[in-house]
Amino acid sequence: MRSFMGRDILSLKDFERGEYFRIFEVAKELEPIARNRRNVDLLKDKTLVVAFYQPSTRTRLAHEAAMHRLGGHVTGFADAKMTRAGDWYQESIKDTVKMLEYYGDVIVMRHFMQGAPAEAAKWATIPVINGGDGWGEHPTQILTDLYTVMREKGHIDGLKWLAVGDMRMRTMHSLAYALTKFDSEVTFVSPPNMSLTDEFKAEITEMGLNFKEAEHVEQAIGDADVILVEPVVQPDYTKARDERKGDVGGTPANYKITKELLQTKAKHDAILLHSFPRMDEIPTDVDSTHWARYWEEAFNGVVMRMALLALVLGAME
Ligand code: CP
């Protein structure tokens, strides 16, 4: 297995199967620190630089919380408008990163432009973690989801997935790549104008993913062990910031997981994941059902980032 030390985490496409399990092992080992709300000194000599060119609640703060839990330091920006990249200069990724690499030891970057973290990694002499790039990928989110499945089910192989939402979403791309490394079946359900592209389908077929598409969640929910949901009513991820204007409408029943649907059609032991933010695709009365695991996912998101930071910074091998 390749070492994680000094490595960029840009995509799950090139992740090896054994690497998932190593990350899960490290996460399990570090989990008690977060569970007991302790801070330790594992990364006390290290600094995380956050470079967020797009809004975020979870990804940035979970990385920051993870760094604090491991005793490290945090600097950076949550709004590129307050930097020279977001003002008159429109400073390039290269010039920005050639500065940031002296301010810390690892960069986590979110960007509205697909490929921006990879561009940063080309120039940075420190590891770059992709915190979501346009419609590209969101590797740390899907690592969080897979870790949640491991914790809840004890295994990933042999499970059937239902993935619902906008298939242009970066999470869906990382999910599809990741599942090619497991014995998994996945059914994708999305509006026709948000479906997987032919090019992407050809790519994941070539990579061996066992998948199909359906029009309505009702067609697939009965078989699913893991139900992963994303919005279909959502902003344009290629913009630095997309303000909501007026009524954006609701989620059609085809892409909605209601309490009634779960009670009448879902397996009793299925688990329901959502990376959040949500619109109305999972109504709030689902939150207290035994299917919901998104609050556990939130906790696991910190633990997963602790594991990744410890690994890429060489504090764990
Ligand atoms: N899940 C996720 O990426 O959330 P944020 O946009 O709040 O980071």
Residues 234-263 have pLDDT tens digits of 999 999 999 999 999 999 999 999 999 999
Q: What is the model's pLDDT at position 240?
A: 93
Question: Does 298 contact ligand 1 (Cβ within 6 A)?
Answer: no
Q: Are 245 and 263 in contact (CB under 8 A)?
A: no
pLDDT-above-70 percentage for the chain:
100
What backbone torsions phi and psi does residue 202 show, to the nearest 5 degrees? -65, -40
Q: Is the pLDDT of residue 270 over 90?
A: yes
Q: What is the model's pLDDT at position 259?
A: 98
**Mind listing the pLDDT tens digit for each residue in 58-84?**
999 999 999 999 999 999 999 999 999
Say how many Å lie between the CA of residue 33 and the centre of ligand 1. 23
**Mind listing the pLDDT tens digit for each residue in 166-222?**
999 999 999 999 999 999 999 999 999 999 999 999 999 999 999 999 999 999 999
Question: Does 110 contact ligand 1 (Cβ within 6 A)?
Answer: no
Q: Are 309 and 288 in contact (CB under 8 A)?
A: no
For residue 301, which atom of ligand 1 is closest to its CA?
1
To test ligand 1's pocket by mutation, which of 141, 174, 230 has the most ligand atoms within 8 angstroms of CB? 141
Domains and CATH numbers, the chain: 17-137+301-312 (3.40.50.1370), 139-242+249-298 (3.40.50.1370)
Question: Does 56 contact ligand 1 (Cβ within 6 A)?
Answer: yes
Q: What residue type is assigned to position 311 of the chain? A: L
**Stretch 152-166: mean pLDDT, rounded?**
98
HSE value, Cβ hemisphere, 13 Å, CA-based, for 43:
31
Q: Is the pLDDT of residue 300 over 90?
A: yes
The dihedral built from the CA positions of residue 67, 73, 79 and 80, taken in this order, carries a sign that is negative
Say how many Å lie between the CA of residue 277 and the centre of ligand 1. 7
Question: Does 231 contact ligand 1 (Cβ within 6 A)?
Answer: no
Q: What is the model's pLDDT at position 1?
A: 86
Instruction: Strand 185-189: give its sheet, edge to edge.
Output: 210-214, 185-189, 160-164, 226-229, 271-274
Q: Are 9 and 312 in contact (CB under 8 A)?
A: yes
What pTM was computed for the model?
0.97
Query: Alpha-carbon distance 97 to 76, whole Å?
Result: 11
Question: Does 234 contact ligand 1 (Cβ within 6 A)?
Answer: no
Distances (CA, A) of 93 to 117, 169, 240: 9, 23, 14
To test ligand 1's pocket by mutation, which of 52, 59, 302 has the most ligand atoms within 8 angstroms of CB? 59
HSE value, Cβ hemisphere, 13 Å, CA-based, for 41:
1
Say how many Å lie between the CA of residue 152 and the centre of ligand 1. 22
Say how many Å lie between the CA of residue 55 and the centre of ligand 1. 8
Question: Does 131 contact ligand 1 (Cβ within 6 A)?
Answer: no
